[in-house]
């Protein structure tokens, strides 16, 4: 293990840039839930435990048509939680490492929580492949436009 860590440190010392790839596990140390199992998901969103819904049943456009109150409650609760949660030290460590490299860093993430931007990564260097919860989009024919959710203040009954 020590040899592998030494090799990784050597590669970082020789790098001129960094590509950071991250998924659900990155936010766990910040206190954000992952959605891999119903135990963690239902613990984070207790209103869905009673409805016996899992992540795939609520995290899709059809949920807004089927039960808009529940869908907005779920997304509003997540949005509020993500806004209130500061990024853990690992985000800042990566940011600081990247700032010392001539070409900086790019982030490719499946996370929608905005933690990299909150930690100081430039928005134009973060690719959120699944989108961002910090944007709103309509379900009807709105030509694919999205809007910032900055002014949206959800009222959520947890």
Q: Convert the pLDDT of each residue in 80-109 to its tens digit.
A: 989 999 999 999 999 999 999 999 999 999
What pLDDT is recorded for position 102?
Answer: 96
Q: Which has more confidence, 117 or 73?
A: 117
Find the catalytic residue in 77, 88, 92, 130.
130
What pLDDT is recorded for position 138?
Answer: 84
Instruction: Give the whole-angstrom CA distance, residue 153 versus residue 131.
Output: 19
Instruction: Give the whole-angstrom CA distance, residue 83 versus residue 106.
Output: 22
The answer to whether the CB of 39 falls within 8 A of the CB of 52 is no
What pLDDT is recorded for position 38?
Answer: 56
Q: Which has more confidence, 117 or 78?
A: 117
pTM of the model: 0.86
Burial profile 49-73: b = 16 or more Cβ within 10 angstroms, e = fewer: eeeebebeebbeeebbeeeeebbbb
**Average pLDDT, integer, range 31-59:** 75
Q: Is 92 a catalytic residue?
A: no
pLDDT digits (tens, 9 = 90+) for 108-139: 999 999 999 999 999 999 999 999 999 998 88
Q: Which has more confidence, 142 or 133?
A: 133
């Amino acid at each position: 293990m020590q040899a592998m860590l030494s090799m990784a440190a050597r590669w970082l010392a020789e790098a001129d840039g960094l590509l950071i790839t991250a998924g659900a596990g990155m936010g766990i140390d910040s206190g954000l839930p992952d959605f891999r199992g119903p135990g963690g998901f239902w613990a984070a969103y207790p209103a869905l435990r009673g409805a016996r819904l899992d992540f795939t049943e609520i995290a899709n456009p059809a949920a807004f048509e089927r039960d808009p109150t529940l869908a907005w409650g779920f997304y509003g609760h997540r949005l509020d939680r993500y806004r209130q949660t500061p990024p853990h030290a690992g985000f800042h460590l990566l940011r600081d490492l990247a700032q010392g490299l001539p070409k900086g860093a790019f982030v490719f993430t499946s996370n929608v929580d905005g933690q990299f931007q909150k930690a100081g990564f430039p928005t134009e260097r973060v690719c959120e492949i699944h989108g961002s919860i910090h944007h709103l989009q309509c379900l009807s024919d709105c030509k694919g436009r999205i809007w910032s959710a900055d002014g949206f203040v959800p009222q959520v009954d947890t």
